[in-house]
Amino acid sequence: FCALNKHYKKMVLLNVRSDYGEELANSFADSASQLGIQIVHSSSFFAGTTNFRDNVIATFKMKEFDAIFLAAGSKDGGELIKQSRDMDVTQPFIGGDALYSEKLANIAGKKETAEGTVVPTVYKPTFNVAQPFIQKYKEKYKEEPEIWSAQGYDSIKLLAHAIERAD
């Protein structure tokens, strides 16, 4: 996506210090290198960090780059995006599936702050095939399902199908 669709040449790579964050960051760095994307700055941070301004954002803000790859969850990611926007960082954020959550926009503050953040997903609530699941979920839990609910539902359905076929 970054190289082929957006033609990004220079990127910043940020990750939370966890197995998820480090593995995703390493995977992205390897792919970026193969596609000719230069990582102009790489930095990691601890989960639960509340101030990204001095130790993370200030270290890359003045560099020349096209986008930021962020390997973190919605809580840390939302806070980092919010503080980056407060410091006039305008480049787009791209991240892993852990950023895919309404919580990201809530934590980032205004919806516009997280607007344009790109994350992969296999769940799209507007697909017709998802409508029966969404309706049942909303009736039972009185809220919109997130990706993890949909993936859990699909996993159980797949497991049930496999058990039925095994008999």
pTM for this predicted structure: 0.73
Reported as a single tens digit per residue, the pLDDT across 70-81 is 999 888 988 899
DSSP 104-117: HHHHHSSHHHHTT-
- Cβ pair 67, 92 in contact under 8 A: yes
Q: Counting Cβ atoms within 10 Å, is residue 66 exposed (0-12), middle (13-18) or buried (19+)?
A: middle
- Bridge partners (DSSP) listed for residue 70: 14, 95
Our separate counts of H helices and E strands in the chain read: 7, 4
Q: Which residues contact 56 (CB under 8 A, 6 or more apart)?
A: 14, 43, 45, 49, 80
Reported as a single tens digit per residue, the pLDDT across 90-108 is 999 998 877 766 666 666 6
